[in-house]
Structure 1
Amino acid sequence: MIGWVLRIVVAAALLGSAGVHYFLWTQGYSGIVSALFLLNAIGGVVLAIAVLLWRHWLPPLGAIGFGVLTLGSYVLAATIGFLGQHDQFNSQPEYWGVITDAVCVLGGVALLLIPNRNSTLSNVN
């Protein structure tokens, strides 16, 4: 039961981050940043579906990677700049993006650590 609740939380975080990036994509950013926002939005939706439907260790690992890369890109943009973007952590999308990506990382780690009777890893014994 806890596994399903955690999967729903991680999927919701992935969809939340995807929503933030889709919103940012609609705001008219230029160049590669715009394309990366759209790619992030699509990737978040695909990973959310995978986390819910595929009981394997790869979707949680994907959620961790998604969160780490997205947070890392944002930290770069907020500090030294990233691909011409310099953010200041002062808007709702930035707050929600950081929160949802942190949940992706923490929830993904938790999903990897909880025992899952239907998991491929537990059947390797």
Structure 2
Amino acid sequence: MLGWTLRMVVGVALLGSAWVHFALWTDGYPGVIGPLFLLDAAGGLVLAVAVLAWRHWLPALGAFGFGVLTLGAYVLAATVGFLGLHDQFTTQAEYWGVVTEAVCVAGGAALMALRAREAR
């Protein structure tokens, strides 16, 4: 039961992050960032389906990596700038993005730990 609940939480977090990035893409960010937001949205959707449908460590690793990379890119954008973008952490999209990506990191790590424990 814990495994299914955790997979649901991670799946919802991935969908939330995908929605945030899709919404940002529709806002029309210029340069390289715009298409990367769309790629992030598609990746979050695919990973959410994988986490929910495939009970394996690989989707958990994908969720963890997705969260680390997207959260890391945001931290860079909010501090020193990233690919010409400098965020200020002032919008709802930024708040939700950080929350969902942090859940992806923690939840992905927890799912991998759970899979390792079940394998023993």
TM-score higher than 0.5 here? yes
**CA–CA distance in structure 1, aligned partners of residues 55 and 32 of structure 2:** 34
User: Is the aligned partner of 1:53 residue 2:57?
Assistant: no
Provide the residue aligned with 1:111 in structure 2.
Answer: 111
Q: Is the 8 A contact 1:3 1:116 kept in 2?
A: no
1:115, distance to aligned residue in structure 2 (A): 4.6
TM-score, length of structure 2 as denominator length: 0.96
**CA–CA distance in structure 1, aligned partners of residues 14 and 115 of structure 2:** 22
Structure 1 residue runs of 5 or longer lacking an equivalent are none
Provide the residue aligned with 1:15 in structure 2.
Answer: 15
Q: Is the 8 A contact 2:10 2:103 kept in 1?
A: yes
Q: Is the 8 A contact 1:15 1:44 kept in 2?
A: yes
Q: Which has the higher helix share?
A: 2
Cα shift readout 1:38-81 (whole Å, capped 9, x = no counterpart): 00000000000000011110000000000000000000000000
Task: Kindly tell me the number of residue pairs found equivalent between the two proteins.
Answer: 120
- Higher Cα radius of gyration: 1
Structure 2 residue runs of 5 or longer lacking an equivalent are none
Provide the residue aligned with 1:63 in structure 2.
Answer: 63
Q: Is the 8 A contact 1:47 1:63 kept in 2?
A: yes
**CA–CA distance in structure 1, aligned partners of residues 84 and 15 of structure 2:** 26
TM-score, length of structure 1 as denominator length: 0.92
Provide the residue aligned with 1:97 in structure 2.
Answer: 97
Root-mean-square deviation over aligned CA pairs: 1.5
Paired amino acid for 1:108: G
Paired-residue identity, %? 68
1:113, distance to aligned residue in structure 2 (A): 1.1
The ranges of structure 1 where at least 4 consecutive aligned residues each deviate by more than 2 angstroms after the TM superposition are none
